């Protein structure tokens, strides 16, 4: 199966085009305490249906080390006390911030939460240096998505003002053939 990966960026805070708030009240809160258990839950709950497998083999310590790095932030969208989605920011060199993880749990898809979450998280990427003393101000926010991700992913990034700066076609191999891994081992695809 051929997979297209799109790399998108904003190079100015003015690039951000916020979405309207969702119909239902959604709180977006930073998970300030690094929690490997919670972050792995978010990663598998969101990515299990979209072939997110890169971090499935990470140990608790690898998760902790990743989450404890200065400039890594996890932002969670909550709908009536239930996680609805999340985003992960990763501060990099030269004022660059990557949105290294982004998505919604299945129950939240189609409720107008994705655009709102992306708007808020992108704004937090632009002001990330305010929360991390010694970090240089953000000059660029970037993200990547691929043709295996949710169909609304690329249109959401484009609607929020991200621009494609690179596109690659790759054949990822057998790991992407057949059903998705689901949100936990053995769960498989869901109807």
pLDDT tens digit string along 47-63? Answer: 877 777 788 888 999 99
Q: Which residues contact 77 (CB under 8 A, 6 or more apart)?
A: 26, 27, 28, 83, 84, 85, 86, 104, 108, 113, 116, 117
Per-residue H/E/C for 93-125: HHHEEEEEEEEECHHHCCCCHHHHHHHHHHHHH
| Number of domains the chain is built from | 1
pLDDT of residue 139: 98
pLDDT of residue 179: 54
189 in a domain, yes or no?
Answer: no
pLDDT of residue 191: 44
Residue 2 and residue 27: Cα distance in Å, rounded? 37
Both tokens of residue 67?
A: 């989450």
Alpha helices in 75-187 (DSSP H): 113-126, 128-131, 153-159
CB 145 within 8 A of CB 154: yes
Q: Which residues of the chain are under the pLDDT cut of 70?
A: 1, 171-191
pLDDT of residue 55: 84
188 in a domain, yes or no?
Answer: no
Question: What CATH number has the domain bearing residue 36?
Answer: 3.40.630.30
Give the SS3 label for residue 63. helix
190 in a domain, yes or no?
Answer: no
Diameter over CA atoms, the chain: 47
185 in a domain, yes or no?
Answer: no
Which domain, by its residues, includes 36? 3-175
């Amino acid at each position: 199966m051929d997979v297209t990966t799109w790399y998108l960026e904003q190079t100015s805070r003015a690039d951000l085009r916020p979405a309207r708030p969702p119909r239902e009240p959604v709180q977006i809160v930073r998970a300030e305490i690094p929690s490997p258990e919670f972050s792995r839950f978010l990663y598998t709950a969101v990515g299990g249906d979209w072939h997110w497998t890169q971090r499935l083999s990470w140990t608790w310590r690898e998760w902790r080390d990743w989450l404890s790095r200065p400039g890594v932030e996890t932002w969670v969208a909550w709908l009536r006390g239930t996680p609805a989605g999340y985003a992960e920011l990763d501060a990099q060199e030269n004022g660059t911030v990557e949105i290294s993880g982004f998505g919604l749990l299945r129950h939240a898809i189609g409720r107008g939460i994705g655009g709102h979450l992306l708007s808020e998280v992108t704004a937090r990427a632009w002001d990330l240096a305010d929360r991390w003393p010694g970090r240089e101000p953000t000059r660029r926010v970037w993200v990547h998505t691929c043709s295996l991700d949710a169909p609304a992913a690329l249109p959401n990034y484009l609607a929020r003002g991200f621009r494609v700066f690179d596109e690659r076609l790759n054949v990822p191999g057998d790991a992407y053939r057949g059903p998705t891994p689901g949100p936990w081992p053995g769960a498989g695809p869901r109807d």
